[in-house]
Structure formats: structure tokens, C-alpha cells
Amino acid sequence: MKNTIPLVIAVILGLAAVFAVSRMMKKQNQTTPEEFVEVVVAARDLSAREDIKEGCLVPREIPVSMVSKRHVRWNQMNMLLEQTVLRSIGKGDYVLINDVGRSRSLGHLVGDGDWAVPVTFSDYSLVQLLQPGDEIAILGTFDIQKTIPSADLSAPPVVVEERATSVLFPNVRILDIGLGDGVSREEGATVKTVVVAVPPQQAAVLIAAQQIAELYPALRRPNDTSSQSRADTGVVDETTFEDLRAGLKPVRVPAAPGKVAR
């Protein structure tokens, strides 16, 4: 009888474990399956400098989570037709937006629901390294007028200006790089204009922002799905640097190298 009790307990525990695992698997199976979308891949080997024709492309289904701004969705396939392939692409490989060069109007590279907008940045350092198909964030530094009520109620409020920097657009795709007519990068031209694709309302904001703010690009990693919302990055203003100093002691420069300041 004493040997029977541990055996019964072991059987009960085993059945409980099997029940728990089966419930967990059932719950996982009830999870909503991930949505898939069709993107463009090469129907055959494509050579560099070849023009893309009908029949060169076929659709492939991939999870939505894998789709980046460089992928071309199958319903936007026509934007690639008659464009020139910039590199060799193997059969079955993705045909990305930065794999093609313009051999017809830029309008054919604009995706459904997007508009092409030129952007002039205040600093050209990073702009010189950008390529069509790159994904960037656009940051803006602008003046904000702040009204401070006067302690004397009979006196008008004081209006002061503050500088603030924030992300305006977390992720936009570059369609083209503006170098000017008849000028190439190899000739040492300075890139001044970047053409990006954004929805219509964002296009209006971007155009207006160039009139009142200094804009700067930040290059993103391809297929990076983090920080897609402006709320993720916050704003940098004068309080940012005040908080940065909180709790820190001033550093004293020594009178001579190697000497400890006292």
C-alpha cells in the first residue's frame, strides 16, 4: 500500500502536466495568425543595367512584420516596369526600391497613397552619403514662443522664444537624390535636395516645416521596426540640459597638464 501512494501521486502530477501543456497549446493555436502580404521578387535572373519588363517579376507572400519601406508590394509592381536594374538580382530574390534606377519619370516610383516631396536639410554631412531607397528620420529644430504672465496683473505678459528639437517624421523612404541638371556625385557636387515619399497630409507639414525650422536627417537601419512613433523620442529643449547638470559637480581645469585641480 505504501508503494502504491507515490505511484498514484506521480500519475496525478503527470496528468496535470499534460492538461496544462494541452491548454497552453490550444491557447497558442487560438492566437490570431500573422497577416501576410505579397511583395515583388525576380521571376528569373536579372542582370545589371537590364530594363525590367513584363514577366520579369512575380509575387511572393511574406509576413507583414518583415516588410520594410524598401520592399515593393505586388500591387505597386508597375512602378518597377521599364526601370533599370542597378545590380544583378538572382531568381527568387526580392526586387527592392533601391535596386532600380530611374529610366522613366520619378512619379512611377511613388507608392500608392504617397506624394513625392523635396527636402532641403541644414547640414549636408550625412546627406552626401544617402542613397535612393534609404530610410531616414527627419528631425527639426525650431523656435517656440512662450507667454509668461506678469506678476503685475496690470502689465502685459512677457513673450520669450525657446529652441526645441524633435522628430518630425520617424521613418520616410528616399526616392531620389537631387544633384542638379547635368551634375554627378563623381564631379564633386554637393547634394542639397532629397526627395522623400510621404502621405499627403505629411507632405503639407514637411513643406511648411522647411519654412520655419532647421531640418536634419538621421539614417535608419533597413527593416528597423523600432521608434515608429514621434512619441517614442520626446523633445529636447532648455530643460533637457538643465536636468543633465542636476547632481553633477563642476569640473575644474588644472593649471598644468597632469596636475589635479584643487
Q: How confident is the model at residue 183 (pLDDT cuts 50, 70, 90)?
A: very low
Note the pLDDT of residue 89: 92
Q: Which of 3-17, 151-165, 171-185, 194-208 is modeled with the greatest confidence?
A: 194-208
**CATH for the stretch 33-110:** 3.90.1210.10
Q: Residues 77-92: what's their mean pLDDT?
A: 86
Confidence grade of residue 244 (pLDDT, cut at 50, 70, 90): confident
Q: Per-residue pLDDT for 3 more than 70? A: no
Is the predicted pLDDT of residue 82 greater than 50, yes or no? yes
Place of cell 515619399: 197
- Every domain of the chain and the residues it spans: 33-110, 113-244
Cell numbers 525657446 correspond to what residue? 162
The answer on pLDDT for 130 being more than 60 is yes
pTM: 0.60
pLDDT tier, 124 (very low <50, low <70, confident <90, very high otherwise): confident
Residue of higher predicted confidence among 220 and 104 = 220
How confident is the model at residue 201, as a pLDDT? 93
pLDDT digits (tens, 9 = 90+) for 189-227: 566 789 999 999 999 999 999 999 999 999 998 778 788
Burial of 97 (0-12, 13-18, 19+ CB in 10 A): buried
C-alpha cell at 34: 500573422
Residue 183, all three cell numbers: 551634375
pLDDT of residue 182: 41
What pLDDT is stored for residue 21 in this prediction?
Answer: 67
Percentage with pLDDT > 70 across the chain:
80
Q: So what's the pLDDT on residue 101?
A: 76
CA dihedral 99, 101, 103, 104 (to 10 degrees): 90
User: Residue 261's Cα: distance from chain center in Å?
Assistant: 46
Asked if residue 45 has pLDDT above 90, the reply is: yes
| 40-52 average pLDDT score | 90
